[in-house]
Chains A and B, each alone.
Chain A
């Protein structure tokens, strides 16, 4: 039945399995852990509970000891009793914070489940604080609460808030949306300049000095798939999105560059000419690193929304067979091109009922399960090889030079299994 579907539409017509139930995922607050590193002049102040603070320190691990630019204003009993005080309390904590940290230029007030449930108006607080601290410090707000956002959606929510605050501009420019590690960002800028795209803006920008506007002459290329809300607000403000697979792997990167080049009237031949050596290098690295992956069956549990592009990379470039591709949220405008590249066959699931999904994992007995840290060791103990998914968000994985490393991340658990001579008990 599947073979009847034309290859060209891939998985785009596959019916989506939608599930409700226990989600074994992080909330959006977790995004702060990488966002604060990408915006060194910013501070992220979560307004939440002790649970939020505990989550951040558990997820951030040792990073917490390096004077991070994030913290939690922990709500106390008194804050819950008298709602009028909450705004004053925020002002007091922010004043104290800003007097201690003179280097802060952007302050994000981040909403959490408790602050959303008691309807604490952070937008109002941001507006008031902006009036007080402008122009030296810009105060924005977004939500990272678990009731509204899953893991990487926190970045989406943050970038959408930044876009909303941008001025209008008619400048012809390319905006690249999605946070990347410095080293990868530099490689990307270098590739774009080699193919002849100039006036490139980055969202998020490293510093508040690099502010830019948005308008009808803005072209937007996405490097992260989880930016649904950011995509929508950019489109509302007149920006033109470029539809492309995500720059993961050699094929993904090449297709992404071709799509950007096409928008700017640059020929594909030119792109191929300037990227030839990088492409060959990436192909060779992938071929080497993905050797243990060929013909193996992989099950991706929902985590970051990177699952669809990763599934495309694993099936097309590493020769893996997809059992199920789970994602917390499927945004077809963004991952449509990747879906089209995946041969029909795997179950596509959105949302999660973790117990039922684990039943499917056990029934399928995949060679590799991509999942969160709460599930990885328990599955390993059941004899299933796992790749913990968070690493895929923290590690440099985009564009040509990281393609081999990306395959390597998936191959390592399988290589390790074959090396260990003593079975775990």
Chain B
């Protein structure tokens, strides 16, 4: 057992729902007790879908357990087919049904429905949401995709976008346009927007674009082996990655690389003098492995930040994230425990957090600005406006999103100049944020209770800009402690500063 208050990922059957809801003409029959329908509202509320997810729940109750829950499942399956007339069905168990061992796959098959019924094995007590989505899509592809003659014009499939995916809707639009500019057609986008009959046409594409490894990699590997389709390895998030992605696509498509950069603004915005103040801003990144890896590159090479820590919650991506961390000489944090993430952030005292909605709340608590780069996200990160993360427009969106929570360059300068001024004092914080730097005091709080700050040193510490003060305080205390000193003077403060100077 493990005590948990907040989880980054849902159970694996929610991943299966993300695939089912992304598609049309597919129906999911889920052997589950009353209450599991809560997951419907993730789709109808957070993603604001105007249809119910295509999921039928058997809703078994305690009094059914002694008798025939298998019959309940068969009836629900038949009723769902009769009512919705899907092109294909997926069937599986939620965590509770996994314990009663009714074998939805076998039961579904025995019904003899005139459409494919695809069984799902999702181990609820070992795996999580992303695995559920990846595995479900793999099983659908395995069951339905067949070798087919390739399209005459060079084409590819877009693989991995699902319901409840972070900016999946707009990433598809952006990448489709980018590929069209190169003369590459999109054969099928799946699972997002695909029907089961579209899945049977996957084999007609010349290659696959793997948009999101978390939810599409297994299917891409299977298609590589069984349909002879290579797939792209580079995720086109950020300017550099997009350029490399274009080269990768060109090689696979046998065409010349071309990228229309008319609307690309990130490089100039980042080069303009107002962005100078971004140099060396200390950033901590957390989220799913794919977005963290992409964001790390943007942060370092395109924004000029200093990345002080990275991590991911999905252990499927632990290896690449560890390798990347080693490469940039920071420690990787692979955990799904938000308290550990909070402890790391508080320890590193970064000036900006790039993470999920949970990191946004941690940031709020610690008084550190934050921008969201990865699921899980709240309703506000399924925006009405066009906001991709991938490609050219994605880079523009990312520049704006990351810079917005920071104190603007001129504003930061004024904060230094007029430190004691009532309008520009520390507590004022960024002018566009209602919640102030009152919380900053919290991270500035001392950790070593037995170390005394002399008045002069305390006054000097107040002169350190508030967003690095916590770090300065902690470093100084650690420095004093290491030297066996119990008092901190101005002298100690500057000794420590010299010691930690980078």
- Chain A residues within 8 Å of B, Cβ to Cβ: 21-30, 45, 47, 49-51, 53-55, 57-59, 62, 64-65, 68, 70-77, 79-80, 86, 89-90, 92-93, 96-97, 113-114, 116-118, 145-148, 150, 355, 372-378, 380-381
Contacts and interface: CB of A to CB of B under 8 A. Distances in A.
Given A71-B4, A374-B41, A76 B125 contact: yes
B115 to A, nearest CB: 19
B35 A29 contact: yes
A22 B64 CA distance: 14
Contacts of A71: 3-5
Interface size class of B (residues with CB under 8 A): 35 or more
B361 interface: yes
Interface stretch (B94-102, B309-317, B410-418, B425-433): B94-102
Interface string B11-34: 101100000000000000000011
A232 to B, nearest CB: 17
Nearest to B7: A53
The 7 closest A-B pairs by CB, nearest first: A27-B35, A146-B35, A374-B40, A381-B50, A113-B96, A146-B34, A49-B95
Interface in B27-54: 33-42, 44-45, 48-52
Interface of B: 1-7, 9-11, 13-14, 33-42, 44-45, 48-52, 56-62, 64-65, 76, 79, 83, 94-96, 99-100, 123-126, 128, 358, 361, 365, 378
B33 A50 contact: no
A58 B4 contact: no
Contacts, number: 183
Nearest to A52: B95
A378 B4 contact: no
Contacts of A376: 44
A89 B2 CA distance: 9
B62 A49 contact: no
B40 A89 contact: no
Q: Is the interface of A mostly helix, strand, loop or mixed?
A: helix
Contact of B94 (A51, A86, A96): A51
A378 B1 contact: no
A118 B99 contact: yes
Given A93-B3, A381-B51, A145 B33 contact: yes
A117 B98 CA distance: 10
B348 to A, nearest CB: 20
Contact of A117 (B38, B52, B100): B100
B294 to A, nearest CB: 26
Nearest to B126: A77
Given A23-B37, A64-B6, A114 B96 contact: yes
A6 B265 CA distance: 76
Contacts of B10: 50-51, 54
A51, A116, A376: residue with the most chain B Cβ atoms closer than 10 Å:
A51
Given A75-B125, A146-B34, A373-B45, A50 B39 contact: no
B35 A73 contact: no
Nearest to A424: B50
A90 B358 CA distance: 27
Given A57-B7, A76-B2, A89-B1, A26 B35 contact: yes
